[in-house]
Amino acid sequence: MKFLSTRGGEKVTGARAIVQGLSANGGLFVPEKFPQITLEELKSMMFMDYPERATEILLKYLDEYDRKGLLSACRAAYGKFEGKDPAPLVRLDDGVYILELFHGPTCAFKDMALTVLPYLLRKGCDICGITENILVLVATSGDTGKAALEGFKNAEGIRIMVFYPNEGVSKMQKMQMSTQEGDNVNVVAVRGNFDDCQRAVKEIFSGEEYNALLKERGYLLSSANSINFGRLAPQIAYYFSAYLDLVTSHQIALGEEIDFTVPTGNFGNVLAGYYAKRMGLPIRRLHCASNLNKVIYDFLQTGVYDVRREFYKTTSPSMDILVSSNLERLLFEVSGRDTRLTAKRMAALKKDGHYEITPEELAAIRETFDGGFAGEAECVEAMYDVFVDVGYTMDTHTGCAMKVAVDWFEKNKKDETKMVIVSTANPYKFPQDVLYAVTGNDVKDSFKGIKRLHAATAMAVPKQLSALRDKTPRFTRVANADALFEEVLEFIK
């Protein structure tokens, strides 16, 4: 399987795409074709465990990697998760299910990919004959940073540096990153929002001078963000696993279509569902859930992507994003894989802050995607209603998704298609906001929030979060967005 750049000019192997992360011209790597999985193959995967299912999906794209090594890596990665199933499916109500993706080492869905990515990257270097050290740069809106740091800590031949918006993550997320252990890690807070972090990191990747200087010092750049196909590929697996769990629990028949509602920020999570659908998984629709930063919702309504708008800091900070990088991969597909047009649109977004697609392209997107959004009060109400009605506690991002799912059923009362809501984080990562939603009580201290949320819900507190109380921050550096490369050079000197 070869991989192409969405902006043209490159055709590489899967291993090279993962090691490189981003194409030289700033494009994202996509598979030259979508591998297919038949219903017979799905049937054969029904009674596999999660690592086996993930291995089957990954091998469809990464045929250079050997099955034995990949399965061993998946077993090691998902062995770090709580419980026997890394991605359990919980029945919430008739026809509505929650896919819990927060049982990993950092309590967020990013663990589903970032526990596997270090192996994919290290093995990819071996396959490509790369001997230089790898420098992984990460821009994070909260969860990716910690998951990447944890996944890559003390990895041989790899150093990792994470940038996050100083005032744009939750207190627990900041504590997780600033106290990170490992001899090869570094964390820098950035004055600005996530888009400022992401823009700066992309400029480093695409800057010839930056790359030449790093190469002089013995480093090659790679990414752990979802712009890297090695991040996206493992996420495809949990859509297949959720579907198979519905079949094996006799909730649906094999071949029956289902829907997913997905909290949407950088578009990688929901794009993985689209890739699963293109591979043959019986997905009918993908519902994109936004918060007040509803750039995706507006795009799905109008066909115009426009970041010239007010930026909101919300209680669902991992969705506080205006430039959704992975949308580029979808645009590439619906444009007929037109690399020139894709590059032109991305240039317009960078220069003018907006672009517009054709009515035909928008219609093609709407065949699978629709969207909704939740304001702050609406998110709180959705979380409260579910807690009161069925006793289930969810985080703020999942609360936004719940609001969008409820709106869908209210508009389509006769729709009997099963709905899976993708839950992206443990509620204790946002204890104060979740506590307020389910009890109306407000506390300023995160750890008091954890204590009171536990008293209200009896939900188990992850040890890795409660233990943060006794840790001293290692990383307190704050920098301007235009000075991040200087921070990189300081890190690797």
DSSP 383-428: HHHHHHHH-----HHHHHHHHHHHHHHHH-TT----EEEEE-B-GG
Residue 85, SS3?
coil
Instruction: With cut-offs at 50, 70 and 90, classify the pLDDT of residue 318.
Output: very high
Question: Residue 146 carries which side chain, given as an amino acid letter?
Answer: K
Instruction: With a cut of 90, say whether residue 486 has pLDDT above it.
Output: yes
CA dihedral sign, ordered 55, 61, 67, 73: negative
Q: Which pLDDT value is given to residue 177?
A: 98
Q: What is the mean pLDDT of residues 235-249?
A: 98
Tens digit of pLDDT for each residue in 22-38?
999 999 999 999 999 99
Helices (DSSP H) in 249-310: which residue ranges?
Answer: 268-278, 295-302
Whose tokens are 């997780």? That residue is 176
% of the chain residues with pLDDT over 70: 100
% of the chain residues with pLDDT over 90: 99
CB count within 10 Å of CB 406 equals: 20
| Global confidence as pTM | 0.96
In angstroms, the CA 123 to CA 111 distance is: 19
| 89-106+230-465 topology per CATH | Rossmann fold (3.40.50)
Instruction: With cut-offs at 50, 70 and 90, classify the pLDDT of residue 433.
Output: very high
Tens digit of pLDDT for each residue in 340-380?
999 999 999 999 999 999 999 999 999 999 999 999 999 99
CA dihedral sign, ordered 338, 13, 146, 149: negative
* 247 alpha carbon, distance to own chain's centre: 25
Tens digit of pLDDT for each residue in 94-139?
899 999 999 999 999 999 999 999 999 999 999 999 999 999 999 9
Domain limits of the chain? 89-106+230-465
Q: Which pLDDT value is given to residue 142?
A: 85
Q: Which pLDDT value is given to residue 366?
A: 98
Q: Which pLDDT value is given to residue 466?
A: 95
Q: What is the mean pLDDT of residues 310-321?
A: 96
Tens digit of pLDDT for each residue in 376-400?
999 999 999 999 999 999 999 999 9
In angstroms, the CA 403 to CA 376 distance is: 11
Tokens representing residue 275 in the block: 């890739």
CB count within 10 Å of CB 437 equals: 26
> Contact at 8 Å (CB) between 379 and 399?
yes
Q: Which pLDDT value is given to residue 217?
A: 94
Q: What is the greatest pairwise CA distance in the chain?
A: 63
* Closest to 124 in 3D by CA, of 70, 162, 79: 70
Tens digit of pLDDT for each residue in 186-195?
999 999 999 9
Give, as one character, the DSSP assignment of residue 286: E
> Contact at 8 Å (CB) between 191 and 479?
yes
Tens digit of pLDDT for each residue in 148-170?
999 999 999 999 999 999 999 99
Torsion, Cα 167 385 265 62, to 10 degrees, reads: 120
Q: Which pLDDT value is given to residue 94?
A: 87
Tens digit of pLDDT for each residue in 40-99?
999 999 999 999 999 999 999 999 999 999 999 999 999 999 999 999 999 999 899 999
* 148 alpha carbon, distance to own chain's centre: 11
> Contact at 8 Å (CB) between 149 and 160?
yes
Q: Which pLDDT value is given to residue 111?
A: 98
Q: Which pLDDT value is given to residue 51?
A: 98
